[in-house]
Amino acid sequence: MPNPTSPSTIHRTDYTPPPFLIDTIELEFELEAERTTVTSKMQLRRNPQAAYCPELQLSGEALQLISLRLDGVACTNRQIDEAGLTVYDVPDAFELTIVNACEPASNTSLMGLYLSNGHFFTQCEAQGFRKITYFLDRPDVMARYTVILRANKAAYPILLSNGNLIEAGDLPNGKHYAKWHDPFAKPSYLFALVAGQLVALEERIITHSGAQKLLQVWVEAHDLDKTHHAMDALIHAIHWDEARFGLELDLERFMIVAVSDFNMGAMENKGLNIFNTKYVLANPQTATDSDYANIEAVVGHEYFHNWTGNRVTCRDWFQLSLKEGLTVFRDQEFSADMAAAGAVNAAAARASQRIENVRILQQVQFAEDAGPMAHPVRPESYVEINNFYTATVYEKGAEVVRMYQTLLGRDGFRQGMDLYFQRHDGQAVSCDDFRQAMAEANQRDLAQFEHWYSQLGTPYVLVRSQYDEAARTYTVTLAQHYKPVLNAPYTASAPLLIPFAIGLVDANGQDLALQLAGEGAPGTATRVLELNQAEQTFRFINVQTQPVPSLLRDFSAPVIVEYDYTDDELIFLLAHDSDPFNRWAAGQRLVTRTLLALARQAERTQLTGNQLNQSIIDAFGRILRDETLTPAFREQVLTLPTEIYLAEQMDQADPAAVHTARQYLRTQLANALSHDWSTIYARHQTPGPYQPTPADMGQRALKNLALSYLSNSKQSAHALHLAQTQYDRADNMSDRSAALAALIHLGGQPAQAALADFYQRFENEPLAIDKWFALQATQQRAEMDLIKLVRTLMHHPAFTLKNPNRVRALIFSFISGNPAQFHATNGSGYALWVEQVLALDTLNPQLAARLARLLERWRKFTPALREQMHEALETVLASVHSKDVREIIDKALI
Ligand code: 0A1
Ligand code: ZN
């Protein structure tokens, strides 16, 4: 029986300061693949802020202790267990010298020190440093690091660590060494080393204060031609952080290194960011427009951590969102500013960025918040911290930060940031410290805002409105509430402070200048109402005719708005709302409503003929043809919500019905607008060489959406011709992969030929081969048995469970991209899931836990599926090893 308060659960409120502090550490590595020796010399002292503790407990995992000396003398008064090393009766201040070994070559967890393509890499966040040496492996212990790396020179010519290179040279027996010093105290999770045969793209830049900095992007030699975009992104990020937040790069050199085997996107180690190749490498042939955009965002994200995360870090792991929410917010703002700078219509470019961010939040975080892993932005407890690098901590955390800016204004937010750094530079602090800085810099009481950190679940805001024609008033009542999470019923602790942006649109589609009762004159078109009670009424005056409300403009808070819009009102907002985000949101509401009705119908009967309201098709057609709108925006409006999102909106998720409904609507939109799709396809070609500019990216996105609709239309011969021509002539991966997707969808010999060509063309480009796997796994052809195909592909020589990108490309893509086939009634999808979770469980627990999470919403499904999913979860529980996976399954089964 799962026990939510078992001793292995760590609770936020149990935090105590570390009993000892470590001022400096000198680390020496004898790098050998099979067995690396680590010598650690540390200066320790008792922490005056902590309760007295006679012994010193250091964390250590999968290590062999070779020797231990205290103040130079061999120390035997110690004990080792699976959690680490305890040294008894230590003095108040002392030097500890530890020699230990670890085994990089057999480390498949990709945490601690490991090998990838024969090079050494480290990953220490959150608790990987303890797999390298014994240490106080917690973020509130900040030390100054000096690191000496020794290795065979031929095999590992490049030796990198954090900070500045202070010495390097040759050693006997074909070895060499490098000595690095990081002048900034840091927690162990920010330590990194890299050793291998790598080459770098280099740039020198001058920062704001006139200092020269060396920037490097390190990769394997054959990838050097794919580093320019990452370097550009880095330079832009450095300048942006100076301009927007007055934050300058503090090291003489800043390095990015690409690694093929990595559990996450990238890691912000001080001065030595380590990146999944997927978020560094790009050239037009191998990377899509979204890859280019993601690289810019992730390079920005890791760079911005240098201040928000590294200079000011987290007191404990419950405060993770302090750095992650804030840094995601910063990278979103960076991407928006970059898109706006390169666009003809800056506001539209910004809105398209915002839509993408919110789409992910609504799809992933809202579902998380309604399931067994629901947790506040600042979690209360965890078993395995790696399971809490979640959409809630990251994406909802970013929305929480954004709300400060919405409430305080851009200048007020900047003042809050300035005060935060003034107070806390060099410290390990909490989310409360951030809120205090925001409040005090703006002389505002933000006590109520604390609930955003402690409340789990997505708040609903129920909106009622009333127009009084005689009095010319329009009253809006906002009421906040929660819906119980399936297997963890909960209620609100107290009302949240919700910034609720609203506009009122008149019958001509014009915004009203808003005037609240009591105000002397009309004001702006958009008003941020501050909802701070359970229910509140706002009365607008001088409203001449009944308006349509535009609610939660620009998604001003991470909530779900409940309002009984009629279809006609949504069509009206889709056509007229001056807030582009809400225009998109109106379209999504309309289409989601339509799809859910179709899905309910599909559960009972076949969907044939035209079942659609013509006015909806017309509304989308008008958007499609509206040349005043950017192509990027039109593409977003005409992209249907995913099947996973739709299933989540049903009382009982029925993936098969959702699939039928979505395919049906796709076909209807494809056929009804086929003339428009053809015109769009022809018109939105991007002449000239490939450029990842917002304008060109938008054109390609819309054109490729048109191709996708055409391949779902009656004109399949026409689509086949277009797809084949596009595939053959493509000078970039966006066009080539979109054409391949269309060909796969159309099936038959052309699909097989294109797949074979693609494989051959990109055999030596792992990231392109990932796309080859993913495109097959996410194809939407009802007559294909995809589970069989996935199993066949798992036997392909290019498939391996050891590479997380490959596993995500095939297995994760299939499960999330093809829910109808995954949830096959014969249980074959679940059997595949059980096998792969268990196979990964011993190899790579973090990745296994992520895969395990794909079944956590089992209670949401129709009874027949639910039963089988339950059984699958029990099967995994019976043989699971890692605490990562166990925590997920335990919580799912509560
Ligand atoms: N701090 C990183 C995310 C990250 C977390 C854990 C990792 O371990 C495998 C790796 C990276 C970020 O936010 O980018
Ligand atoms: Zn981060």
User: DSSP letters along 544-579, please?
Assistant: -SPPEEEESGGG-SS-EEE----HHHHHHHHHH-SS
Query: What ligand is nearest to the CA atom of residue 273?
Result: 1
What does the pLDDT read at residue 484? Answer: 78
Q: Does the annotation mark 302 as catalytic?
A: yes
Q: Is the pLDDT of residue 5 over 60?
A: no
What does the pLDDT read at residue 826? Answer: 97
Q: Which is the closest atom of ligand 1 to the Cα of 263?
A: 9
- What digits encode the pLDDT tens for the residues 389-405? 999 999 999 999 999 99
Q: Which is the closest atom of ligand 1 to the Cα of 327?
A: 13
Q: Is the pLDDT of residue 796 over 50?
A: yes
- Is pTM, for the whole model, over 0.90? yes
Q: Is the peptide bond before 126 cis (omega within 30 degrees of 0)?
A: yes
- What digits encode the pLDDT tens for the residues 161-190? 999 999 999 999 999 999 999 999 999 999
Residue 884 CB–ligand 1 contact under 6 Å: no
What does the pLDDT read at residue 486? Answer: 59
Q: CB under 8 Å, gap of 24 or more: what pairs does 571-575 form?
A: 571/615, 571/616, 571/619, 572/505, 572/509, 572/548, 573/505, 573/548, 574/619, 574/623, 574/637, 575/509, 575/619, 575/622, 575/623
What does the pLDDT read at residue 483? Answer: 87
Please provide the distance, in angstroms rounded to a whole number, between the alpha carbons at the two ends of the chain. 8
CA of 306 to the centre of ligand 2 (A): 10
Query: What is the mean predicted confidence (pLDDT) over 372-377?
Result: 96
What's the mean per-residue pLDDT of the chain? 97
Query: What is the mean predicted confidence (pLDDT) over 350-354?
Result: 98
User: HSE on the CB side for 544, CA within 13 Å?
Assistant: 8
What does the pLDDT read at residue 558? Answer: 98
- What digits encode the pLDDT tens for the residues 725-739? 999 999 999 999 999
Residue nearest to ligand 1 atom 2, measured at CA: 267
Q: How confident is the model at residue 4 (pLDDT cuts 50, 70, 90)?
A: very low
Q: What's the full length of the chain, in residues?
A: 894
CA of 398 to the centre of ligand 2 (A): 11
What does the pLDDT read at residue 491? Answer: 64
What does the pLDDT read at residue 635? Answer: 98
Share of the chain above pLDDT 70, in %: 98
What does the pLDDT read at residue 488? Answer: 60
- What digits encode the pLDDT tens for the residues 839-862? 999 999 999 999 999 999 999 999
Q: Which is the closest atom of ligand 1 to the Cα of 110?
A: 9
- What digits encode the pLDDT tens for the residues 511-525? 999 999 999 999 999
In the set 125, 302, 648, 765, the catalytic residue is: 302
Residue 322 CB–ligand 1 contact under 6 Å: no
Residue nearest to ligand 1 atom 13, measured at CA: 324
Residue 395 CB–ligand 1 contact under 6 Å: no
Cα gap 741→407, rounded to integer Å: 44
Residue nearest to ligand 1 atom 4, measured at CA: 267
- What digits encode the pLDDT tens for the residues 401-423? 999 999 999 999 999 999 999 99
Q: Are strands 20-30 and 143-152 parallel, antiparallel or unpaired?
A: parallel
What does the pLDDT read at residue 493? Answer: 77
Query: What is the mean predicted confidence (pLDDT) over 34-43?
Result: 99
Site to probe by mutation for ligand 1, drawn from 267, 301, 327 as the one with most ligand atoms within 8 Å of Cβ, is 267
CA of 323 to the centre of ligand 1 (A): 11
Residue nearest to ligand 1 atom 1, measured at CA: 267
What does the pLDDT read at residue 99? Answer: 99
- What digits encode the pLDDT tens for the residues 183-236? 999 999 999 999 999 999 999 999 999 999 999 999 999 999 999 999 999 999
The 10 Å Cβ neighbour count of residue 792 is 12
CA of 126 to the centre of ligand 1 (A): 8
- What digits encode the pLDDT tens for the residues 645-685? 999 999 999 999 999 999 999 999 999 999 999 999 999 99
Ion ligand 2 — residues with CB under 5 Å? 324, 327
The answer to whether the beta carbons of residues 235 and 203 sit under 8 Å apart is yes
